[in-house]
Structure formats: structure tokens, C-alpha cells
Structure 1
Amino acid sequence: MNNLNDLFRARIGYSDQGALTFERLPEVLALTAVTVPFENLCIMDNNINPVTEEYVVDKILVNREGGLCYEINTLLYLFLLRNGLDVVMTRSVVYDHEIGAYYTHGRTHISILLKHEGQLYIIDSGFGGNHPLVPVPLTGETVASANGEFRIRRAEHAIGNYVFEMKLKHKDEDWRTGYTFDSERAITDLVDSNEIQRIVVEHPLSKFNKTPVITRLTPEGSVTLTQNSLTRWTNGQLSKEQIEEEQFEELRKVYFGK
């Protein structure tokens, strides 16, 4: 068996080798957010592999790459499970703000449900830089981290019984819907991770099979690189510059290291 626990801690620079407690999760989530980028580069390179524990460990921890939700959150789930936390995964339907409706091509986002002292929380490190850096309770309570405020409200419709909402620092004046999920549809194996990968790779409505994108949080804000632009948020100030496609690889190494 691979040493996922030690490799994960080393990858994100988490030096504490003691037992991982609920109270230490914000530190782990913050380190993961600035260390592991959200990106689709393997899809754009047509380098698709089954989502297994060995695959996500090699890709993200050994080769020090990033990934999409079904890779990052699957790895985080395995890490939390390895540390004795009470976790399962759940599939969500993302809200498309361009059309003002939920995606119609399926439950394409994966996040983590954690149970602690009888209370359920969402853990998410794979939502394209929009993820909370703290566990978010399913009570409707607003929680805050360095990048904004987050809450989960009860909802009753066909595709989910809860809605994850966010108000990102310097970006949102009002609450925005992130995704809806069904808290009663638990996932404990990686079959669904592979199904999500298939949809993301193959579906014509997928936003991650068309052009490259890579993003991560930074201590000052965030950085996002596409084939046409470099966008940086630094202490609330937005900087966006157009780039030529041939600059992509050079800028990727500068801002993301690989």
C-alpha cells in the first residue's frame, strides 16, 4: 500500500505528523488550496486514466500535478479516511450562472460529506478556486474563511436536498449558488469518480474538454491561466492580461511550477 498519508502531508507542506483532528481541517484545506491547482491539462493532452487510488496519488502527490474535482476531492477523501475521519463522497449538480440554471448533463461535481459529533459538513477542495477553506455545516450557518463566506441551505427539488452557496471575498456582493447535492446519496467507492470523469471528458456541454485552464488560490488571492489570458487577484485588486497561446507553457511554469 502506498503511503498516501505522508505523501499528502508532504505535498501540501503540512508538517504536523500527529493525528488529524476536525479542528486542524482548516489548516489542511488552506494549504491544499494554495498548493494543488484545479486544472484540466490531462484532458487537453488526451491523457485519460481510470480514477484509482494509485492514479490520484501518482498524479497529484508524486508528480505534483493538479486535477479536477473527481481527482482532487477523491484524493482528499482517501486522505481523510486514512486519518480516521467519518467521511463519504457525494455527487452534485453545478449551477451555471451564464444561463441561470443547473447543468443538464448530470451530477458532474464530487465533494465530501464529513460527520463530526453528529453534525454533517461539506468539505471541498475541488471547486475551481471557489471552495471554502473550512468545513461548511448543513445547518444553514454562515462560515467564513480567507477567501469568503459560505453556507448550505436546505432545498427540496428533484436533483438535491441541499444547496451550497458562496459569497467570495472582493468578488461577490450577494450570495451565489454553487451546486446542489443529495445528502442521502453517499459514495464510498471510486466508480462515481470515473463516471464523472467520463462525462467531463466526453460530453459536448462540458466546460473542461475544450480549452486548458489552471487555477489556484494564493495567500493574496488567486491566479488563473487560460490559453488566452492570465488573471490575478491580489489583495482585492484584479489584474487581467491577454496572452498568446505560445506563452501558456512558460506562464504555467512561473505561476504553477509544472
Structure 2
Amino acid sequence: MMNELFRKRIGFPLEEEISFANLDQVLERTALALPFENVRVMNRSTIEFTEESLKEKILDRNEGGLCYDLNSILYLFLLENGFETRLIRGVVFNQTHQKWSETGKTHIAILLRNKGRQYLVDTGFGINIPLKPVPLTGVTVSSRNGEFRVQKEASDHGDYCFYFKLKHKDKEWKKGYAFDSIDMVHKLSEINEIQHIIASHPASGFNKRLIMTRLTERGSITLAGNSVTTWTDGRMEKDEIDYTRFRKLARDAFGLNL
């Protein structure tokens, strides 16, 4: 059921086998279909994080979510399709303040093993997502979204660091987050603590204003506070909007009813 519902949500054929070779197609469709959004955090309507509540949120109610929602549902889907995967924790690098986030290890991502090699898979880092598995070897991976790499880099937060350089936006490499390749999430109930931190911590960037963003076929769209930002074929447009238009765009562009 999980397999069928997820494929339906992202528009991937039920009869087509999913392998490492076509995993980038799954990641592309997931990025287009599942918005990164914090509606439940802002509405204070988060509930206990379980496999069932996650399925209901994303596959039955057609919502999106934050990193722990999006990567957890993808992780379960990949497991069901025979992949060797695990969830890991990371600490996000705050670009504005040029320091590690005070919320600690609250970023959830996926490590995938294929033919003895490990790869980072992430569909929950806003629009800064690689759309392809990124090897843990320092090799740069390119997609329509930009360039991405994972470097072995010891820090207080782990043994690897994820870097990105978005197409049309970044001239230099940006540090995304550090993660520990052996600090696994052993059961989904552990994510309840992360969800609580994101919802309540003063340094959390997701408990102060509504944010929703996703990739589109030609760029991206982001609603944040009182603005809408669209990127189309490398060109950016940003407009101030009132709450009425925000609600309409949330419904029309993200399928979310506020």
C-alpha cells in the first residue's frame, strides 16, 4: 500500500521497477510533488511522529513537510523497494549568520548503500536538493538544480559535510550541513524529539513564519511570510503579497489549504 500510494503521489508508474539506475527520476518527481512546508508547525498541530501518522499526512492528506517528514517517507518507500537505506542526523549551517545551527542535529537525511558504496540522498533540504544520490567520496554530482558534493570532513557535528552550488544562484560553494555517518535514527519515534525542537526552539527557522517551497519544471516557487519568490529559467521575480493571496497561492501552487 505504501509503495502504491507513494508512486501515485509522485506520478511514478506502479509497474516500473525502481533501481539505482533510475533513482534520479524518483528524486526528481518527489521534488516536484512534495512541498517543503511548515504549516503544521505554525498551526501548532503537529502530532506524534509515527509511520502511520506520516503516511496519513503525506499520502492520504497530500501535505508536504519538513526534512524529517519528506526524507522519512522517502526512506520507507526506498526500503519497501529493496534499497539498503538508513536515516541519519545532521546539523545545518546557517548561511545568514555563518555558523552552525543552535538547534543541533535536527536535519534528517538518508544514507543509501549500493554495490558497496555509500550515497547521501536528500529530498528535504528546501530547494537546495541534489535530485541525485551524492557519493560520500567528494565527487561532484550535477543536476538541473546545480552542483553538489559530500566531503569527508571531521567536525564537532560529524564526519562528513554536504556542499551545494545552486544553478543560476550561487557562484561559490555553500556549506549545507554536517552529518555523522554512524549516528543513525534507529526508529521513527526518535524523530519526535527533533519535531519538538523545530517547533519550540528559539533558534529554529521554522516556528516564526509560514514557509513553503518546491521545485517546478522550470525553476522553483517559494512563499515566505509576506512574499512570493519565483525562479523561471534562471530569472527571479519577488513580490510582496497579503495573506489572501498567500492562501490562494498555497492552494494553487502547493495544494495546501490554510
Partner of 1:49: 47
1:221 aligns with 2:213: no
Q: Which deviates further from its counterpart, 141-150 or 98-107?
A: 98-107
Classify the secondary structure of the residue corresponding to 1:217: strand
Classify the secondary structure of the residue corresponding to 2:196: helix
* Matching residue within 178, 189, 192 for 2:190: 192
* Matching residue within 172, 179, 182 for 2:180: 182
| TM-fit CA distance, 1:257 | 2.1
| Superposition TM-score, scaled by structure 1 size | 0.97
Partner of 1:170: 168
Classify the secondary structure of the residue corresponding to 1:26: helix
Q: Which deviates further from its counterpart, 51-60 or 31-40?
A: 51-60
Partner of 2:103: 105
Q: Which deviates further from its counterpart, 172-181 or 243-252?
A: 243-252
| TM-fit CA distance, 1:36 | 0.3
Gapped runs of 5+ residues in structure 2?
Answer: none
| TM-fit CA distance, 1:146 | 1.0
| TM-fit CA distance, 1:16 | 4.4
Classify the secondary structure of the residue corresponding to 1:201: helix
| TM-fit CA distance, 1:186 | 1.9
Gapped runs of 5+ residues in structure 1?
Answer: none
In structure 1, how many angstroms separate the alpha carbons of the residues matched to 2:82 and 2:226?
43
Please say if residues 74 and 193 of structure 1, whose CA atoms lie closer than 8 Å, have aligned partners that are also in contact: no
Partner of 1:239: 237
Runs (4+) off by over 6 Å: none
1:140 aligns with 2:138: yes
Please list the CA deviations of residues 132-154 of structure 1 after superposition, one character each: whole Å capped at 9, or x if unmatched: 10000000000011101100011
In structure 2, how many angstroms separate the alpha carbons of the residues matched to 1:192 and 1:69?
14
| Superposition TM-score, scaled by structure 2 size | 0.97
Classify the secondary structure of the residue corresponding to 1:78: helix
Q: Percent identity?
A: 46
Q: What RMSD in Å do the two structures reach over aligned CA positions?
A: 1.0
How many residues end up aligned between the 2 structures?
256
What code does the residue aligned with 1:188 have?
Answer: H
Classify the secondary structure of the residue corresponding to 1:88: strand
In structure 2, how many angstroms separate the alpha carbons of the residues matched to 1:129 and 1:195?
24
In structure 2, how many angstroms separate the alpha carbons of the residues matched to 1:238 and 1:135?
27
In structure 1, how many angstroms separate the alpha carbons of the residues matched to 2:245 and 2:9?
27
What code does the residue aligned with 2:43 have?
Answer: D
1:209 aligns with 2:202: no
In structure 2, how many angstroms separate the alpha carbons of the residues matched to 1:52 and 1:133?
26
